[in-house]
Amino acid sequence: MNLTELNKVAQAMVAPGRGILAADESSGTIKKRFDAISVENTEDNRRDYREMMFRTTEAMSKYISGVILYDETIWQKAKDGTPLVEIIRKAGALPGIKVDEGTKPLPNCPGELITTGLDKLAERLPKYYEQGARFAKWRAVIDIGPDIPSYACLHANAHALARYAALCQAAQIVPIVEPEILMDGDHDIDRCAMISEWMLKETFQELYYNKVALEGIVLKPNMVVPGKDGKTRATVQEVAEKTIKVLKNCVPGAVPGIAFLSGGQTDEEATANLDAMNKLGPLPWTLTFSYGRALQHAPQTTWKGKSENVAAAQRAFAHRAMMNSLAALGQWKADLETRKAA
């Protein structure tokens, strides 16, 4: 493992004012997104949609540091025959790859999930490296309920994250470590804070036992928010303060950066919360975005699968990328949202 190189890539992923586009929806998830805009879930439509974002050249080169791809996409070529990874690279962003293989029920733990994909991962990683991937992603999914999560679930998922991260670093690939506490449920923000802290402590302990070099990872956590069916909503300031408190208690300063998931927040909530956290700085790590839905909702609903909407959808994507870039610098203002690209 060349840690200097891994650290260079991790630093580039969280470079000031830049963040990650999570475009790694599995075929089932992208189907849900396409169903919502009445687009058929075909390989060509998935390619055209993603090509449209990757060709939003200015936004990609100024605001996007890397793109997380699904296995299908990393091997795909654009309509004109250019590999999609080449388009991403030419725009100045790094290609990355989702390597987990989704979740399965965790035995003896009703309602809880374990992320799969460790078998054969050591053999898959060099192929992705050869294809241009310089970072990878693995997501652990933790649900909050009256009796969950259990210690068994947190421990098993943290262990899998650490095993994945160690294998990535051995293959000279920076692992994005994503322990996601879901927003589903009616729990309050303090319960989310408590479970987030527990999972992060568990994750960093497992990373330590598996000898993962923290200088060569990027952490992708949830923000600390109330469950989406909870009675009490939280203010932006409260989300920012509680998230930073948890992160300061759990994440060593050796980690180059933290790139949040949006987790079902609205586009503007995800931007405002990130901005508020950065305004609380200076912080030990760079804080940026690695959003899927909060970057793609606007371009998706503008595009609707129609070629005549491509330019407007690219403007919508560029706008969200710019807003989140400003938030990553703590320089976003709500009134900038009204100057939306038409």
Please list the active-site residues. Answer: 178, 220
> Cβ(48)–Cβ(37) under 8 Å?
no
Identify which of residues 4 and 278 has a Cβ nearer to ligand 5MM in the complex.
278
Give min distance, CB of 112 to ligand 5MM, in A.
16
C-alpha 33/C-alpha 36 separation (Å) is: 5
CA dist list (Å): 316 to 41, 299, 310: 22, 5, 10
Structure tokens at 79: 């309509």
Identify which of residues 25 and 51 has a Cβ nearer to ligand 5MM in the complex.
25
Identify which of residues 82 and 301 has a Cβ nearer to ligand 5MM in the complex.
301
Identify which of residues 196 and 262 has a Cβ nearer to ligand 5MM in the complex.
262
Asked if 202 interacts with ligand 5MM (CB under 6 A), we say no
Contact residues for 134 (Cβ-Cβ < 8 A; gap 6+): 9, 66, 94, 95, 96, 173, 174
Task: Identify the residue whose tokens are 């210690």.
Answer: 151
> Which residues in 129-158 contact ligand 5MM (CB under 6 A)?
139
Asked if 293 interacts with ligand 5MM (CB under 6 A), we say yes
Candidate segments 53-61, 123-131, 258-266, 314-322, binder of ligand 5MM by CB under 6 A: 258-266
In Å, the largest CA–CA distance within the chain is 53
Give min distance, CB of 340 to ligand 5MM, in A.
20
By DSSP bridging, strand 257-260 and strand 286-291 are parallel
Give min distance, CB of 102 to ligand 5MM, in A.
6
Asked if 261 interacts with ligand 5MM (CB under 6 A), we say yes
Exposure string of 29-58, with b = 16+ CB inside 10 Å and e = fewer, is: ebeebbeeeebeeeeeebbbbbbbbbbbee
Handedness of CA 161, 162, 168, 169 (dihedral sign): positive
Identify which of residues 1 and 264 has a Cβ nearer to ligand 5MM in the complex.
264
C-alpha 173/C-alpha 342 separation (Å) is: 39
Give min distance, CB of 211 to ligand 5MM, in A.
26
Looking at 22, 182, 318, 327, which residue binds ligand 5MM (CB under 6 A)?
22
C-alpha 6/C-alpha 171 separation (Å) is: 10
Identify which of residues 36 and 339 has a Cβ nearer to ligand 5MM in the complex.
36
> Which residues in 24-83 contact ligand 5MM (CB under 6 A)?
24-26, 29, 68
Candidate segments 41-49, 149-157, 203-211, 286-294, binder of ligand 5MM by CB under 6 A: 286-294
Region for residue 94 given its phi and psi (left: phi exceeds 0; alpha: psi -120 to 50; beta: otherwise): beta
How many residues line the site for ligand 5MM (CB under 6 A)? 15
> Residues in the site for ligand 5MM, rule: CB under 6 A?
22, 24-26, 29, 68, 139, 180, 261-263, 291-294
